[in-house]
Amino acid sequence: MPNLLPPADRRSVVLLMAYVAVSLFLLVVGERIPTSWLRGTGAMIFEPFDRVVMTGANAVRAWTENAALHDRIARLETENARLRGAGAENQVLRAQLGLESWRGLPLTPVEVLALSGESPPATATLSAGRQHRIEEGDAVLTSDGLIGRVTESWGSRARASLLTDPNLAVACEVETTGVHGVLRFSPGPLPRLLMTAVSLSDTVRVGERIVTSDLSVRFPRGMPIGHVVRIAADPTGLLQEIEVRASARFTRLRHAFVAPGPLGPAEAASPAPRTSATERSTP
């Protein structure tokens, strides 16, 4: 009877019978076939297809990332060109006004040999001293920003008071608006850096950067310190109490730089040390 069927129908009947036979075979002996062998066979069969799919997906992902990177590079190059122009203009204007900047000051690299004080540490021992032209009053900073000031200098060692020293005060300002204040460390009840002496009428926003002020007699101007994280009124209700998060991490200091602090005419002519123990709290 199958000979009476058209060739296409005969092929369909043969395929159907083959499928039925394979199904019966799997029903009878399927549980006895090792699953690991089946998985290995399936992986071997479908591996070329997986490679093709993965290659296509990786190509699409690489093309998308490449386009995004090209766009980012273009934007960064434009921003970099704008900043270079602004920096050059800033140097010209500062030169015309006779103003100095801390950028370009000689920096002496030092190693932080030890940290002392309760967490966070308040002082650091540096691996260089007077032999390396490090004097009392010099600023200590990292690539993140200001961390303190040299308070004692010996032959080959120096001690620096960090911003977390309650006796250290820093004249500072908001980078964008120029609002002035004094940065001090408050050890309790919650240890934190506070920018004080800011009038309630001055506008300060969370996230703004705090830098050293040009009113400081101890630190070069424009050194980054940190950014504002909280603003409230002080206990008197007459001034603002601005909490600042330092850019540098004082519990992980290993290396730093020392930069000479600004000198007035009288100080520059005097061979005496630039600071004394009674002057450590002067901004």
Predicted TM-score (pTM) above 0.85:
no
pLDDT at 215: 84
Hey, which CATH number is domain 108-263, 3.10.20.30, 3.20.20.120, 1.10.420.10, 2.40.10.340? 2.40.10.340
pLDDT at 251: 85
Task: Tell me which H or E stretch contains 197.
Answer: strand 192-199
HSE of 136, CA atoms in CB hemisphere, 13 A: 15
Residue with the two structure tokens 């030169």: 95
- In the chain, the percentage of residues whose pLDDT exceeds 70 is 77
pLDDT at 273: 42
Domain regions of the chain by residue span: 2-33, 108-263
pLDDT at 274: 42
pLDDT exceeds 60 at position 266: no
Residue of 153 and 56 predicted with greater confidence? 153
The dihedrals phi and psi of 157, each to the nearest 5 degrees, come to -135, 160
Average pLDDT over residues 179-184: 94
The dihedrals phi and psi of 208, each to the nearest 5 degrees, come to -70, 145
pLDDT digits (tens, 9 = 90+) for 46-102: 677 777 778 877 888 888 888 888 888 888 888 888 877 777 777 777 667 665 555
pLDDT exceeds 60 at position 250: yes
Alpha-carbon distances, residue 134 vs 112, 211, 280 (angstroms): 14, 23, 16
Task: Tell me which H or E stretch contains 150.
Answer: strand 146-153
The conformation of residue 127, written as its DSSP 8-state character, comes to S
The dihedrals phi and psi of 84, each to the nearest 5 degrees, come to -65, -40
Residue with the two structure tokens 């008071």: 161
pLDDT exceeds 80 at position 137: yes
Rounded CA separation 173/182 (Å): 8
pLDDT at 36: 66
pLDDT at 44: 72
Q: Cis peptide before 189, with omega less than 30 degrees from 0?
A: yes
